[in-house]
Amino acid sequence: MADPRFFVNKGPFSVQQLLSLVDEGADIRGDGTLEVVDVAPLSEAGPQDISFLDNRKYISAFEESGAGACIVAPEFADRAPKGMTLILTTRPYRAYARVAHAFYQSATQSSGIHPAAFVDPGAELADGVSVGPGAVVEADAKLDNDVEIGAGAIVGHGVSIGAATRIGANASVEYCDIGARCEIHPGVRLGTRGFGFDMSAEGHLDVPQLGRVILGNDVEVGANSTIDRGAGPDTVIGDGCKIDNLVQIGHNVRMGQGCVVVAQAGVAGSTELQDFVVLAAQSGVAGHLTIAPGTQLAARSGIMRNTEMGDKLAGNPAIPAKEFFRQTAVLAKLTKDRNRKD
Amino acid sequence: MADPRFFVNKGPFSVQQLLSLVDEGADIRGDGTLEVVDVAPLSEAGPQDISFLDNRKYISAFEESGAGACIVAPEFADRAPKGMTLILTTRPYRAYARVAHAFYQSATQSSGIHPAAFVDPGAELADGVSVGPGAVVEADAKLDNDVEIGAGAIVGHGVSIGAATRIGANASVEYCDIGARCEIHPGVRLGTRGFGFDMSAEGHLDVPQLGRVILGNDVEVGANSTIDRGAGPDTVIGDGCKIDNLVQIGHNVRMGQGCVVVAQAGVAGSTELQDFVVLAAQSGVAGHLTIAPGTQLAARSGIMRNTEMGDKLAGNPAIPAKEFFRQTAVLAKLTKDRNRKD
Amino acid sequence: MADPRFFVNKGPFSVQQLLSLVDEGADIRGDGTLEVVDVAPLSEAGPQDISFLDNRKYISAFEESGAGACIVAPEFADRAPKGMTLILTTRPYRAYARVAHAFYQSATQSSGIHPAAFVDPGAELADGVSVGPGAVVEADAKLDNDVEIGAGAIVGHGVSIGAATRIGANASVEYCDIGARCEIHPGVRLGTRGFGFDMSAEGHLDVPQLGRVILGNDVEVGANSTIDRGAGPDTVIGDGCKIDNLVQIGHNVRMGQGCVVVAQAGVAGSTELQDFVVLAAQSGVAGHLTIAPGTQLAARSGIMRNTEMGDKLAGNPAIPAKEFFRQTAVLAKLTKDRNRKD
């Protein structure tokens, strides 16, 4: 069970109740009146727990699981242990997410303006806004309903934040507009100065960075990630983008909807990621490029030119992933051959 | 126009007035009495805007631009649309920077010690210092004229900061001396413990890190970057160095003047970057090396040995950039040949 | 001498006194009654300083050093300048660490709850706890003896922290239990949400992250590093692990004891690093892997499969380091040959 210091368990629920949370098309096999008290991994779940199977790797754990109930794709239903109640769905991971949301909420519900926060009298706060201890909301900021500002976070002058968005501890958001239901994690820096200057031996000269950062709705930005404001145009992050920890997004970057950028990846200035681009961990994209919808870049790889829709790339400079692994194999073979000759 | 919540427009200016800001050698072609109200990109500029052309890629945008005035190199003057007033200079990007500085200043001018800041009575603050809400200035810190400490920033015990330097929101600066006119962006960590310890199976043992971080004048350090203090010697960053976001600088590193370190790059301990070294994004330099003046390292590349003046390197381990791209092509060719044979 | 603004020198000590701090087996050659006032590098040390030789590269500096005393391995004793007093030990770097600890302590000893801190009345603070200005300790947090919370740091609801652990400036620790004598540096993020969601074109759906971060004793986490809490299981960092700056540790990662993770490296979710694994700077390990004890990964390299005990790997995907350098040489040779033919 999740640590009750941090999470409140709202169970029990009957399997039938949980079914109602799952996207339509799901079905029960077994006893829908069964009450479950918790979610748990297959290997640890007991008769009062509900688990899920999402990955073929874990089929034998499923076959041996003691879980009372399990969310599983129909094709694996017949592998279930006897007596296990099943929620059958083609998307078990998504269904598990909904069930886990039903079971748990954070134990730390903040509310109201903490006495150790500073909110400028010129800021506008809608109903239900909470501001944690040590946090700062500067003048002319506008916070919509149910916005949560974490302890020690800084909301700069004039920033607007949409309903139910959360800003994590010690994050700072400046020169930006943030949509609704976003999660800005601790230590994030939004709206910082872009890295724009004229290089010269007599001294580099800063070019004013006059744009903003615009975040859509349902955007997540991971801990200690940085998104620079635009140089003149804005830096724009589309609806539903998921950005992990320690990611760098340069000035003027535009991201379409639903892009995923994994930890420690970076996107250089003025590049466009179109919808549903995926950049794996520690990868990078050079500046001034257009990355086509659905492009996927492998971990530790670097894109140096525009891509085509659905490209799957790896290496540095990135090439089609299959080709990258073929080249890797050929170089290994050539090296082996040469050693044999020597 | 830049968002007035964030930037104050100080125009209009006549082209003649703007010319006076540009380094000598610039000249006007056309109507110097023309008044312009804003800066704008070529594609968006109207008859009351001034734009600039710095990159051949945008020549057609220049030819079709509706800008009233434009900053451009003399060799492109004849491509200008009819009636456009030109500021001719060999360095249009630098000239644009000066013009944009003239037009805009931040809308958030802080001043004085905010009531929600904590300044230790033992700190020395010169005239014009501002300290934002939630910021902390500890004992024996010395802040010269017009230093700005952002909201939530921490200035450690004994730290000295030169005139007109700005420390961003939620940054922390400890065990360091910072020059004048520096920009330390939000979330920067200066003076943290270097990663020095004796490794042992019985338990790694920390080696005290007894040096400082010394920043010259006009240094920029990007958001969430980290610069460790020296182990015994100091970590030294020379005048005019520009460091981007999420960069790591190890203990005892010495950087000459004017070095540029782009986002997510790193320099390992005790390495020296001599003047005007450029490290592109996500690159790295191993420890205990001497990197000669003007060395340029490509993005996602890693230097493992000393370099010669003006080297242009790429790959990992880094080799001359031309050689790197040649090797890349040869491996692709060999792989193709082998596939054909199979 | 270390800057007295930042460090207090507690000398002088006789060489005999210092010997008593060094692990048994050390010995003096020369005058044990000699008093030394400071530690210093070989090249700068004078007759009242003690230095050390740990790296063959510096033997000539040792031979020419003016240090009054030096810590050195027995095999180099005969190279010492005449009159230098020696502490002979097989582990001179470790001995130097102990001597330097004896000489110096930080000049900034905090104590008690600063009036500009906020400590929730529901938090439990043992004797000797200090909380800096601007710091926040939320309800139900438990801080053991002598814990130090730096300026602006945030200790979340319910977090427990072991004796003598220090949390740096502007760090935030949530959903976690931290052992004794840990060093959590400025800007660290512990316990942030793991990057877990169901990807879908209709909108990615967050999966609740219900685990914690568990840190053992004597763990160091470098500035601005991030460690996500588990998805269900916990993220666990073993005793004595050393993590450098800007490192990312994903959800459900388990690290054994004494692992070393150098700056800007990353470990993806659900991977296990067994005891004494070393990941050099800017390297990465993919998710769901088991990395055997003593595995060493070179800088800028990436592991994509399980490893064997003591593996020394380099490249991306990582292969045995010797093989990596052989492949690098072969590709260079093939490219040269081909150029000659062209």
CA distances from C101 to A131, C12, C39, C98 (A): 42, 13, 10, 5
Q: Which residues of B touch A335 (CB under 8 A)?
A: none
From its phi and psi, is residue A122 left (phi > 0), alpha (psi between -120 and 50) or beta?
alpha
From its phi and psi, is residue A107 left (phi > 0), alpha (psi between -120 and 50) or beta?
alpha
CB contact under 8 A, A189 and B224: yes
CA distance A63 to chain B (A): 41
Q: What is the mean predicted confidence (pLDDT) over B25-53?
A: 95
pLDDT, position C162: 98
pLDDT, position C342: 60
Comparing CB atoms, the residue among B140, B316, B317 nearest residue C5 is B140
Q: What is the band of C145 on the pLDDT scale with cuts at 50, 70, 90?
A: very high
Is the distance from CB of C116 to CB of C133 less than 8 angstroms? Answer: yes
pLDDT, position C55: 86
Superfamily per CATH, domain A171-322: Hexapeptide repeat proteins (2.160.10.10)
Q: What is the mean predicted confidence (pLDDT) over C143-160?
A: 97
**Is residue B341 predicted with pLDDT exceeding 80?**
no
DSSP B159-217: -EE-TT-EE-TT-EE-SEEE-TT-EE-TT-EEEEPP--EE--TT--EEPP----EEE-S
Catalytic residues of C: 251
Comparing CB atoms, the residue among A299, A335, A338 nearest residue C286 is A299
CA distance A73 to chain B (A): 39
pLDDT digits (tens, 9 = 90+) for B236-270: 999 999 999 999 999 999 999 999 999 999 999 99
Buried b (16+ CB within 10 A) or exposed e, A67-86: bbbbbbbeebeeebeeebbb
Q: Which residues of A touch B116 (CB under 8 A)?
A: 118, 136
**Is residue B109 predicted with pLDDT exceeding 80?**
no
**Fold matches, B7-106 and B171-322:** no
Comparing CB atoms, the residue among B104, B133, B224 nearest residue A226 is B224
CA distance C227 to chain B (A): 16
Q: Which residues of B touch C103 (CB under 8 A)?
A: 208
Token digits of residue A268: 């250089």
CB contact under 8 A, A97 and C205: yes
- What is the interface size between A and B, counted as CB pairs within 8 Å? 181
**Is residue C238 predicted with pLDDT exceeding 70?**
yes
Q: Which residues of B touch C108 (CB under 8 A)?
A: 138, 156-158
How far is Cα C152 from Cα B149, in angstroms, rounded to an integer? 14
The CB density around residue B101, as the number of other CB atoms within 10 Å, is: 15
pLDDT, position A56: 87
How far is Cα A285 from Cα A306, in angstroms, rounded to an integer? 10
Residue A121 preceded by cis peptide, ω within 30: no
pLDDT digits (tens, 9 = 90+) for B302-340: 999 999 999 999 999 999 999 999 999 999 999 998 877
Comparing CB atoms, the residue among B93, B133, B186 nearest residue A136 is B133
CB contact under 8 A, A264 and C250: no
Comparing CB atoms, the residue among B168, B300, B335 nearest residue A284 is B300
Is the distance from CB of C155 to CB of C136 less than 8 angstroms? Answer: yes
Q: What is the mean predicted confidence (pLDDT) over C132-153?
A: 97
Reference C189, options B170, A313, B19; nearest CA is: B170
CB contact under 8 A, A94 and C189: no
Reference B153, options B122, B110, B193, B121; nearest CA is: B110
Q: Which residue is closest to C322 within chain A, CA to CA? A: A335
The CB density around residue B281, as the number of other CB atoms within 10 Å, is: 28
CB contact under 8 A, B210 and C281: no
pLDDT, position A111: 77
Q: In what order do the strands lie in the sheet with C213-215?
A: C124-125, C142-143, C160-161, C176-178, C213-215, C235-237, C254-255, C272-273, C290-291
**Is residue C209 predicted with pLDDT exceeding 80?**
yes
pLDDT, position A55: 86
CA distances from A122 to A116, A118, A159 (A): 18, 12, 12
CA A127 to chain centre: 27
Chains that touch A (3 or more CB pairs under 8 A): B, C
Helices C321-341 and B321-341: angle between axes, nearest 10 degrees:
90
Q: Which residue is closest to A304 within chain B, CA to CA? A: B299
CA distance C283 to chain A (A): 9
Token digits of residue C180: 């004794």
pLDDT, position B210: 96
CB contact under 8 A, B152 and A174: no
Local structure of B59: helix, strand or coil: helix
Contact partners, residue A201, CB within 8 Å, separation at least 6: B258, B276
Query: Which residue type sits at C55?
Result: N
Mutate to test the interface with C, among A109, A239, A246 (most CBs of C within 10 A): A246
Query: Rounded to 5 degrees, what angle do the CA atoms B165, B169, B170 make?
Result: 115
CB contact under 8 A, B151 and A135: no
Is the distance from CB of B280 to CB of B265 less than 8 angstroms? Answer: yes
pLDDT, position B342: 60
Is the distance from CB of B314 to CB of B328 less than 8 angstroms? Answer: no
Is the distance from CB of A224 to CB of C248 less than 8 angstroms? Answer: no
C-alpha distance across the termini of chain A, in Å: 61
CATH architecture of A7-106: 3-Layer(aba) Sandwich (3.40)
Q: Specify the DSSP class assigned to residue C300.
A: T
Residue B137, beta-bridge partner list: B119, B155
Q: Which residues of A touch C233 (CB under 8 A)?
A: 41
Is the distance from CB of A181 to CB of A214 less than 8 angstroms? Answer: no
CA distance A106 to chain C (A): 9
pLDDT digits (tens, 9 = 90+) for C32-81: 999 999 999 999 999 999 999 998 888 999 999 999 999 999 999 999 99
The CB density around residue B32, as the number of other CB atoms within 10 Å, is: 16
Comparing CB atoms, the residue among A7, A41, A240 nearest residue C204 is A240
Contact partners, residue A60, CB within 8 Å, separation at least 6: none
CB contact under 8 A, A205 and B98: yes
Q: Where are the domains of chain C?
A: 7-106, 171-322
Which regions in chain A score pLDDT beneath 70? 341-342
CA distances from B285 to A263, A304, B268, B272, C111 (A): 21, 21, 6, 10, 40
Is the distance from CB of C258 to CB of C276 less than 8 angstroms? Answer: yes
pLDDT digits (tens, 9 = 90+) for C210-221: 999 999 999 999
From its phi and psi, is residue B340 left (phi > 0), alpha (psi between -120 and 50) or beta?
alpha
pLDDT, position C340: 75
CB contact under 8 A, C319 and A339: no
pLDDT, position B203: 92
Token digits of residue C299: 């800088």
How far is Cα B135 from Cα B153, in angstroms, rounded to an integer? 5
Q: Which residues of C touch A150 (CB under 8 A)?
A: 154
Comparing CB atoms, the residue among A93, A100, A224 nearest residue C224 is A224
Q: Which residues of B touch A172 (CB under 8 A)?
A: 151-152, 168-170, 186-187
How far is Cα A319 from Cα C80, in angstroms, rounded to an integer? 56
CA distance B100 to chain A (A): 6
CB contact under 8 A, C319 and A300: no
CB contact under 8 A, C100 and B136: no
Query: Which residue type sits at B184?
Result: I
Token digits of residue A94: 């998504």
CB contact under 8 A, C195 and A242: yes
